[in-house]
Chains A and B, each alone.
Chain A
């Protein structure tokens, strides 16, 4: 119940493509869903986050889509660039809790 399942494990797209990374959860008490971006040799950095009162959130080229009934959320990267090549982690937490439950990560490669 505490797991967050992330797919795919790796993803290769061409520049300008729209990679989509999916996450699914079981615990309906989760109410905060962030995405983290991690470059090699660096720590994860918060990219974008959503709460279940909205179905979509955009920040620049990054969009989270949230489907509460299906208990799924996904990250879309519009007009992807080689500089977006990184590992992306989804996560979830319950209100008032510091504990983030992370997915296993998706390694994204954007070819020029």
Chain B
């Protein structure tokens, strides 16, 4: 496999559920990101990891919890989400922190009931 792979592609969950989104990159990159994409809004950067350390957290509610066990894998743990959290969640990677471009996965479409 090449590129950035996200699983699952679709997820429907209730507000009290706990689930996790997974991202894996096969590009040998050292920086990984989570973005939220909502209709008619700009992509919102949520978290940035560089060499498995979190370097940015853009005022994201604590019901979203990221985890980066190694430079190839990134998780987003979800707990007690709200209906407004329904969106496309995109993972991206880049060669190193401070470098462009960023390579995106195809996202996980999340629906909160």
Report which A residues bind B (CB closer than 8 A): 4, 9, 32, 34, 36, 41-46, 49, 89, 93, 96-105
B24 to chain A, nearest CB (A): 14
- Tell me which residues across on chain A come within 8 A of B41, comparing CB atoms: 104
Q: Name 7 extra pairs, CB < 8 A, besides A43-B107, A44-B43, A98-B33.
A: A9-B40, A43-B4, A43-B106, A89-B42, A100-B100, A104-B40, A104-B41
B positions within 8 Å CB-CB of A: 4, 6, 31, 33, 40-43, 45, 48, 50, 55-56, 90, 92, 94, 97-107
With both chains docked as a complex, state the minimum distance between the C-beta of B40 and any C-beta of chain A, in angstroms.
6
Count of A-B residue pairs with CB < 8 Å = 57
Cross-chain pairs A/B with CB under 8 angstroms, 20 sampled: A4-B42, A9-B40, A41-B106, A43-B90, A43-B106, A46-B102, A46-B103, A49-B100, A93-B100, A96-B98, A97-B98, A98-B48, A98-B50, A98-B94, A98-B98, A98-B99, A98-B102, A100-B43, A100-B100, A102-B43
Given contacts A32-B100, A49-B100, A98-B48, contact A44 B56 (CB under 8 A): no
B5 to chain A, nearest CB (A): 10
| Across-interface contacts of A89 in B (CB, < 8 A) | 42-43
